[in-house]
Amino acid sequence: MKTALSQQRAQDLRRQSTEAEKKLWQLLRNRQFDGLKFRRQAPIGPYIADFLAVDALLIIEIDGGQHSSRTSYDKKRAAWLKQHGYRV
């Protein structure tokens, strides 16, 4: 379920993309990767996926140093996404 808050947060994250996210987006956009349509910073349930290919139920996450202290959150997120059929 998308909320106005999650949509706004996703927009903010798109504007504040890291260099790694920008480079990967150039490779994923316009169906360049295996013909899959990816969305960038896409709200999904209570989370926001870095890159989401809805048709393939595939999520690509780019976790830098800022995530080293968030391992329990990342595990919880990955479990929720897997439970809902996504591959991360």
| Contact indicator for 50, 41 with CB cutoff of 8 Å | yes
Q: What percentage of the chain has pLDDT greater than the value 70?
A: 91
Domain interval for residue 60: 4-83
Task: Please give the pLDDT value at position 69.
Answer: 63
pLDDT greater than 70 at residue 65: no
Is 71 inside a domain boundary? Answer: yes
Between 24 and 4, the more confident residue is 24
pLDDT greater than 90 at residue 12: no
Is 18 inside a domain boundary? Answer: yes
Is 88 inside a domain boundary? Answer: no
Predicted TM-score (pTM) of the model is 0.81
pLDDT greater than 90 at residue 57: yes
CA pair distance 87, 36, nearest whole angstrom:
14
CA pair distance 73, 50, nearest whole angstrom:
15
CA pair distance 10, 6, nearest whole angstrom:
6
User: What's the whole-number mean pLDDT along residues 19-43?
Assistant: 94
Q: Into how many domains does the chain fold?
A: 1
pLDDT greater than 90 at residue 16: no
